[in-house]
Structure 1
């Protein structure tokens, strides 16, 4: 399917519009808790009463038709924003947005605003829709304690103890969260691997156990300053992960021990001020540091293999934006961002007291990037709004060990239009030029001892670029229901995938650029209340994403999918609330993954069975919440298939195949939360 066939698509979309509009005609008017003013739809707290929400995140997830996006994990600040704001601004942090919202008590929220297309004073960050969480300015302080207990396989336990404090009064706000936790890795379970070659089948039994512990802490404080508001925030989240594995093949034993110590930290500050005459200033400063130390040791009767890696990453960001609301419905903005990033990675590989040659085992990568933009948001009529932006990115990538220092200049335009047939029916179009960031890990080599697989670093990587065209039709119905259909087409240059590297007769896999590719997505989202189907206070949510891609394989020359591209991603959830008794229950289903990777000398396929969970919740009048969850009651199965070739993949005979199957036991989770 190609999205260039706009005539056919227009016919489909118009038919869907007519059908959903007819459906909405029979619907009752929206609840009094919902009001609409142009592109802004406001949801009062009473709207969420029947959902028995506890946090701001719970409220966001119950906005009909809204698809939460926590933001990207890329470097920089402006291009990584999620689609939820707090008091009209994005927090100056790159920590998990969902966690930030979960740490704001619902009692602190005055209302939510769903903004489609744009609104005065709101930076959409390139999103079609934004939810703005507006907090009360006079709410009393809230303190809560959350305890979580988890058990897997009846023997392995873990838990979390979380403390949260919120205070937002007199123009000052303070939010503090801290938790201590230990955890198990539900993916590290006993497995059975069958390797088939020209001799026969070899059965390997794998016994694994993994988990760890850590601390997470986050704090922010804002207060008036010089006619504006200044905010300080910081995070510190050290953790350690341990995995032990025993391998048994016909009585021959092997043992592996893996340890990873991760120490990320962050400090940020934001200053915002109205300057008068429609001008507003927003400044952000952010510094991040992370230290990751890996130790992987494998021992069997033939000797010992020892792989170690130490990575240090630093990021420093200065970001500024000046906006001007010339008149109601027209906002102009200019801004710039300066970012410095670096990664130092040292690794060593020793096998039986000798060090095999692994190129690029000592790497420093450095990036200096400046991105400037000018944007306009214009509400042309009561039904039609436009948003346009031009970004200019200038960056320099340096790899001293490879004598590389390359500079790039990219022009990144974006155009978006939203037309409202009515308050219930909206049609959106977006065209954008995107430039992905290079993964610093792709510059460094790594070794997997379990499969004896070496991935080389590649110092010649360049960013992949694409043009995205997307059209979205959304329809609200029955007051609390919404359906949307999105069609997306991507044209990529310098597609990021895997390439083959031949060094002294040895074949290695490396990250690389493999030319042009095309991607097509279809995304369907449905949230529907079930009261009309005699299920009072019931809600059904469906989310389905179909993806196909096409690229020419650099080894075989044949068309194939891009590595790691899962063709189907879906989720379904049912919930029912009983407000009078304070109880609720639900069932969730989610696809866990199915993808294929095309390596230099092997083909890998991984498949997870769908993930399911059942839950029950009870809230007492005394602000005590109990929740029980049974996750994976059907014993999810994970399978991995490897086809390993004697030489280059697809051009040489098959050396052997491997089939690994793992079953994950059910997980019981109990939560107890008290608000004070």
Structure 2
């Protein structure tokens, strides 16, 4: 099967698997009782889904980077994740799952192991998943999470329509202690936070195959976000009146995406046209009010911000075979925009909020970006393959408002990768890539964080970072024992973006110079069948990063603010043979890098270790029921920060703040089934 030649609805189930692929037939997954393709991909030994650059805020669509394909084709949506779309493919439509070398496919940008889900739509079917749960402390019940979807086929049209709600309920309570630079107590606080998030959305994915050589996709999504958080703090200072603080944060707004593509023969090759339009509006309000027990007038602030963000993309990809190699020329035009309105108010002694000047928080940012890339893929031997890409991008960034500015950039892009498969159970890939980073338009304009009493200034001189990246991936299959993957990624950045000092004494996000990061990740699956523990396995992922950048405030070397320092994820699962029962335990721990700002440093996380236990029955009136208890070891909402009375490193410590709040156990029930 040639990659990108087969699409949903036209795959021939008699086609032989891709040469050199590790093939997993549906029978392999029977013990897990999967409901959809996502359930199956998750159980492929040693394979971890990577959503790719498009789902991680990358520039435009670009070349393929996600490590999952369906019938050899990439996903063209940016709002619908790979997991979302896989969850709508019924298990009965999955012919097989192939683990292939991305470098061997004629889809430029792929490298390392890729899962190709071979699908053949057979008829109309439906799925549902209901996720409910509660926490004993600080939150309301989580009642309305889940998805219902309908997939089917009508002539040359395949469709999947779904209604879903991604929701969450969260909260924590506990002490916060403030001390001065000498370690003497300033104030104790009891903080309680309670919040909720809901993201209802209606999605439709359609595939039209009028002939074996023409295929078109259309993706539609309409949804909205609803977020709210209430925080109370009762502060008892060593001297002075008690303070009762109330913080209310809310955010809501609609979002939509329309995307699609069509591929058809053109001359000696195939032409693919892709288009995307998406827009989101966020209405954010943060209100902080302090009341005092000595009769003093209440004080406070309110911050309001409305962001409208949009993106339009047009892309073409033309591929052909020449000189026993696969070639592709691609071009992309992307138009991104942000329009922001911000207002800051202060509570007066009469209890009325009065507007303060905040011109730096208003304005807009647009970027017009054009890219062209030439790609070349060729097997050098039966075990060695090569892929090379090269091109450039041109972008023009314009800012309106109080700090209007316009700049343009021309940047080279490209990659060179080699894949070697010396044995059927072992492969190595090496890639060198030149990347251009994606800016957050929010960093161009000022914003305020009322709870932490800090603000980000605007910076109209921001530039996208550039980086050289070297990635090594090794995959080893141990047969009945499982498999393992080792990834080593080294990146060297230019114009790295982090917190940056402004000449007016403030700070903003800005370009702070050169930086580097080494990422080492080991993941895999260990199966216990060979030692007689039938149906038992452990999935694991361990990550460690080393970073180096010069702090613009102190001149010392440090890590990247808010980046990941280390992570460990272990999941044990036992599907009891000859029964419908499964059970398991898991643990997760991570450590973030501390952030560095002009007047403070700090770190916030949850831990030290999250642990959970679950029990699952695969046939409860035809449904799968899973009961899970999370945080059984009592991980807490933790954090600290040190605030200085002047710009670092010259300032003295004004105060330190240590937070240690209870999260408590989390109970969840999931029911899933078909209709």
Same fold at TM > 0.5: yes
Backbone CA RMSD of aligned residues:
2.1
Which of the numbers 130, 148, 154 marks the counterpart of 2:114? 130
Question: For the residues of structure 2 that align with 1:483 and 1:573, how far apart are their CA atoms?
Answer: 15
Matches within 5 A, 1:565-580: 565-580=563-578
Q: Where does residue 366 of structure 1 map in the other structure?
A: 366
SS of match in other structure, 2:27: helix
Q: Where does residue 282 of structure 1 map in the other structure?
A: 272
SS of match in other structure, 2:464: coil
Q: Where does residue 101 of structure 1 map in the other structure?
A: 86
Conserved 8 A contact 1:434-1:465 = yes
CA deviation string 1:477-498 (max 9, x = no partner): 1246212222222111111111
Q: CA deviation at 1:145?
A: 2.4
CA deviation string 1:23-47 (max 9, x = no partner): xxxxxxxxxxxx9754433221112
Check 1:630–1:280 CA distance in 2 against 1; reply closer, same or farther (3 A cut).
Answer: same
Conserved 8 A contact 1:36-1:423 = no
Question: For the residues of structure 1 that align with 2:429 and 2:166, how far apart are their CA atoms?
Answer: 43
The answer on 1:292 being equivalent to 2:282 is yes
Check 1:347–1:573 CA distance in 2 against 1; reply closer, same or farther (3 A cut).
Answer: same
Conserved 8 A contact 1:117-1:385 = no
Matches within 5 A, 1:420-569: 420-479=421-480, 481-503=482-504, 507-569=505-567
Check 1:391–1:246 CA distance in 2 against 1; reply closer, same or farther (3 A cut).
Answer: same
The answer on 1:77 being equivalent to 2:61 is yes
Q: Where does residue 3 of structure 1 map in the other structure?
A: none
Check 1:451–1:172 CA distance in 2 against 1; reply closer, same or farther (3 A cut).
Answer: same
Name stretches of at least 5 consecutive residues in structure 1 with no aligned partner. 1-34
Q: CA deviation at 1:79?
A: 5.0
Q: Where does residue 661 of structure 1 map in the other structure?
A: 660
The answer on 1:394 being equivalent to 2:390 is no
SS of match in other structure, 1:648: coil
SS of match in other structure, 2:51: coil
Question: For the residues of structure 2 that align with 1:421 and 1:637, how far apart are their CA atoms?
Answer: 47
SS of match in other structure, 1:118: helix
Q: Where does residue 645 of structure 1 map in the other structure?
A: 644
Check 1:79–1:254 CA distance in 2 against 1; reply closer, same or farther (3 A cut).
Answer: farther
Q: CA deviation at 1:579?
A: 4.9
Q: Where does residue 376 of structure 2 map in the other structure?
A: 376
Matches within 5 A, 1:171-190: 171-180=156-165, 183-184=168-169, 186=170, 188-190=171-173
Conserved 8 A contact 2:640-2:656 = yes
Conserved 8 A contact 1:39-1:119 = no
Question: For the residues of structure 1 that align with 2:167 and 2:28, how far apart are their CA atoms?
Answer: 36
Conserved 8 A contact 1:284-1:318 = yes
Question: For the residues of structure 2 that align with 1:419 and 1:584, how far apart are their CA atoms?
Answer: 38
Conserved 8 A contact 1:471-1:488 = yes
Conserved 8 A contact 1:363-1:443 = no
Which of the numbers 189, 192, 209 marks the counterpart of 1:204? 189
Q: CA deviation at 1:602?
A: 0.4
Question: For the residues of structure 1 that align with 2:123 and 2:542, how far apart are their CA atoms?
Answer: 41
Moved segments of 4+, more than 6 Å: none
CA deviation string 1:325-371 (max 9, x = no partner): 347x6211111111000001111111124444445210200000011
Conserved 8 A contact 2:516-2:548 = yes
Q: Where does residue 267 of structure 1 map in the other structure?
A: 258
SS of match in other structure, 2:47: coil
CA deviation string 1:438-475 (max 9, x = no partner): 11111121111111111112111111111111222221
Conserved 8 A contact 2:103-2:419 = no
Conserved 8 A contact 2:59-2:437 = no
Conserved 8 A contact 2:279-2:310 = yes
CA deviation string 1:54-91 (max 9, x = no partner): 22112112222322101222341125742211222223
SS of match in other structure, 2:124: strand
Q: Where does residue 49 of structure 1 map in the other structure?
A: 30
Question: For the residues of structure 2 that align with 1:276 and 1:88, how far apart are their CA atoms?
Answer: 22
Q: CA deviation at 1:169?
A: 6.0
SS of match in other structure, 2:72: coil
Question: For the residues of structure 1 that align with 2:667 and 2:325, how far apart are their CA atoms?
Answer: 52
SS of match in other structure, 1:48: helix
TM-score of the superposition, structure 1-length normalised? 0.89
Q: Where does residue 5 of structure 1 map in the other structure?
A: none
Which of the numbers 348, 351, 365 marks the counterpart of 2:346? 351
Q: Where does residue 412 of structure 2 map in the other structure?
A: 411
Conserved 8 A contact 2:88-2:149 = yes
- Most deviating of 297-306 and 598-607: 297-306
Q: How many residues are paired up?
A: 633
The answer on 1:62 being equivalent to 2:49 is no
Question: For the residues of structure 2 that align with 1:356 and 1:102, how far apart are their CA atoms?
Answer: 48
- Most deviating of 463-472 and 35-44: 35-44
SS of match in other structure, 1:625: strand
SS of match in other structure, 2:467: strand
CA deviation string 1:556-615 (max 9, x = no partner): 112112212322122111111135212212222222443200001101122321222212
Conserved 8 A contact 2:100-2:114 = yes
Q: CA deviation at 1:93?
A: 1.1
Q: CA deviation at 1:390?
A: 0.9
Conserved 8 A contact 2:335-2:368 = yes
SS of match in other structure, 2:84: helix
